Structure 1
Amino acid sequence: MKARTVLPAVAMTTVSMVLTLAVVVMWLGTAMPWLVALVVGIGIDGGWLATLAYERRLASQGDHSRVVTAVGWGFGLLATAVLVAHALTAEESAGAWLAVAWLPLAAKALWLVHGLWERTALTPIALDAIRGIQQEARDEAAVARARLRAEAATEETRLTAVTEAGARVARVQATTADTLAKAWSTLESARAGQDTGRALTSVTTRVTPDVTPRWELPVWGPSEPLPNRSLEAVPALTDEALDVVVDEIRTSETPALSYREMATRFRAAGHSASEVRLRAAWKRVA
């Protein structure tokens, strides 16, 4: 991995130094001896190479010097200026020389990238640890997503079952209500019928002589639960005592209460009596 950043920087530096030396010799060789021009070119490249070597030494020690870096960039700018000046004064191939004038600065930039890579590089052990942490996080996220999907599917199944059960209960209640309504209508017709009333009166007259029966339909509607009382704790009332209690409850309000209201208050007061005895007592006192 290190070679991927250092090799381009070395190659670019070599090409830049060769171009700088060749341009200095060709450009200044006409105005001064070529040996002097060669010394000038080697001086530029040597100063650049020396500052680069010193900068790399400091980087290997974990240190950094702004002065050395500034001097290195100064030599790079000088080499670039030489190449640009030669390109502008060249009579032939001026565009080609100007196109390669940026190579010294590009070489310095590549060494800067290589230094940044060295300062942020990690060992293989650290990289393996990071990969392991990332893989663990991905595994946990996948497990969490699978758990959420499973819980969502379970909740959807439960809601579907509850909805279907509620629909079945509603259908049963509707059917029961319809049946009760029909039975209620039949009972009402039987109670209101003239012939049916005479037949019922003739039957009950032998059971309760001298009492005109009053037929009332049972209560169909919401009911309130009676208090939970132990039947053994409530003594059975005699017929006389039962008649007294029924009469007191019946005449507790004006006008007198109906049988249904009396029976409800009778049992709410904690008294105990069968429906047959209670209705017989009502007929006696009424």
Structure 2
Amino acid sequence: MSTTGAKTVLPAFAMTAVSMVLTLAVIVMWLGRAMPWPIALVVGLGIDGGWLATLAYERRLAAQGDHSTPVTAVGWSFGLIATGVLVAHALTAEESAGAWLAVAWLPVAAKALWLVHGLWERTALTGEALDAIQGIQQEARDEAAVARARLRAEAATEETRLTAVTQAGARVAHVQAKTADALSRAWSTLESAREGEGTGRALTSVTSRVTPGVTPRWELPVWGPTEPVSGFALESAGALTDEALDVLVDKIRHSETPALSYREMASRFRTAGHSASEVRLRAAWKRVVAA
């Protein structure tokens, strides 16, 4: 018998023995007043013997892995009879009635301990099985701990990455804001210069020697959306002659109303895919304007 089994069977043995002794003593003391004591002794031994016999039979069935309800019922009957004898003696005793009532529950307690021992036997496992179960539980705890550590590490890594991305985004946004502010101030300065009263006169006085007799319309770039300029379906095979160049410049210049400035005309001339040197293009412009 294992150590764990002894922890349940020894208390059951001890309480059963005490219950049998008390039952026998009470029957001899109680019934000895009304009949000869040998007869009372036989009655007491009969109760204890029946109880012991049924207990032994129950233990043999339990060892075989079997169970009998009638035998169990008979065993509990003997235990209840013993308890009833002790209770009756305590109620009729003139002295120490409380002490006898205090021990009257021992037969029923003994039967309950044997029931607990039987339950332990049906659920007991070998040492190898217990070691295997402990190993499985420990392995599961280890895997759970590793999984928790992995999740915490991944969460910390993700948090660090998000922090770095957020900081980089904040720096980019700060640089963009500074750039937008600088561009806004620059375009504001250009707009002020374009809208100024002396801007045109100043620029004309500077360029009057380049284009004598011509008053160009000077415009500074405007900050805002742009629209694509459609090309002109003009044929230009090889280098343009002066006459063809004059026709092309005049057509581009008068493509909108009012007439385009030299800068706008030159831009659309080159956007349309035509080529001419700046000197020839300005000369053609001067000829068209003079005409």
TM-score (normalizing by structure 1):
0.80
**Which stretch shifts more, 105-114 or 195-204?**
195-204
What's the CA shift string for 1:155-196, capped at 9, x where partnerless?
Answer: 111121112112211221222122212222222222222333
Report the CA distance shift for 1:96/1:178 in structure 2 as closer, same or farther (over 3 A). same
What's the CA shift string for 1:112-171, capped at 9, x where partnerless?
Answer: 000001101111111111111111111111111111111111111112111211221122
What's the CA shift string for 1:74-97, capped at 9, x where partnerless?
Answer: 000010011011111101001110
**Number of residue pairs matched by the alignment:** 277
Q: Which amino acid aligns with 2:5?
A: K
Report the CA distance shift for 1:199/1:116 in structure 2 as closer, same or farther (over 3 A). same
Report the CA distance shift for 1:201/1:257 in structure 2 as closer, same or farther (over 3 A). closer
Q: Matches of residues 35-184 of structure 1 in structure 2 within 5 Å?
A: 35-184=38-187
Secondary structure at the counterpart of residue 2 of structure 1: helix
Distance, in Å, in 2 between the alignment partners of 1:275 and 1:122 is 105
Distance, in Å, in 2 between the alignment partners of 1:283 and 1:31 is 158
**Which stretch shifts more, 216-225 or 240-249?**
240-249
**Which stretch shifts more, 180-189 or 257-266?**
257-266
Report the CA distance shift for 1:219/1:151 in structure 2 as closer, same or farther (over 3 A). farther
Q: Which amino acid aligns with 1:124?
A: G
Distance, in Å, in 2 between the alignment partners of 1:60 and 1:276 is 123
Distance, in Å, in 1 between the alignment partners of 2:171 and 2:48 is 95
CA contact (8 A) 2:58 2:68 kept: yes
Report the CA distance shift for 1:198/1:53 in structure 2 as closer, same or farther (over 3 A). same
Distance, in Å, in 1 between the alignment partners of 2:283 and 2:117 is 112
Aligned to 1:28, which of 27, 31, 50? 31
Deviation at 1:237, TM superposition (A): 9.5
Q: Which amino acid aligns with 1:213?
A: P
Report the CA distance shift for 1:224/1:212 in structure 2 as closer, same or farther (over 3 A). closer
Deviation at 1:99, TM superposition (A): 1.0
CA contact (8 A) 1:213 1:283 kept: no
TM-score (normalizing by structure 2):
0.78
Deviation at 1:238, TM superposition (A): 9.5
Unaligned residue ranges in structure 1 (runs of 5+) = 226-234
Report the CA distance shift for 1:41/1:30 in structure 2 as closer, same or farther (over 3 A). same
Q: Matches of residues 188-207 of structure 1 in structure 2 within 5 Å?
A: 188-207=191-210
Deviation at 1:215, TM superposition (A): 3.1
Over the matched positions of the two proteins, sequence identity in percent amounts to 86
Secondary structure at the counterpart of residue 125 of structure 2: coil
CA contact (8 A) 2:191 2:220 kept: yes
Deviation at 1:251, TM superposition (A): 7.8
RMSD: 4.0
CA contact (8 A) 1:249 1:262 kept: yes
Q: Which structure has the larger Rg over C-alpha atoms? A: 2
CA contact (8 A) 2:216 2:262 kept: no
What's the CA shift string for 1:186-230, capped at 9, x where partnerless?
Answer: 2222222233321212333444555543333334356799xxxxx
Aligned to 2:9, which of 6, 21, 43? 6
Report the CA distance shift for 1:122/1:221 in structure 2 as closer, same or farther (over 3 A). farther
Q: Which amino acid aligns with 1:83?
A: L
Q: Which amino acid aligns with 1:198?
A: R
Report the CA distance shift for 1:169/1:239 in structure 2 as closer, same or farther (over 3 A). farther
Unaligned residue ranges in structure 2 (runs of 5+) = 229-237
Deviation at 1:55, TM superposition (A): 0.3
Distance, in Å, in 2 between the alignment partners of 1:272 and 1:261 is 15
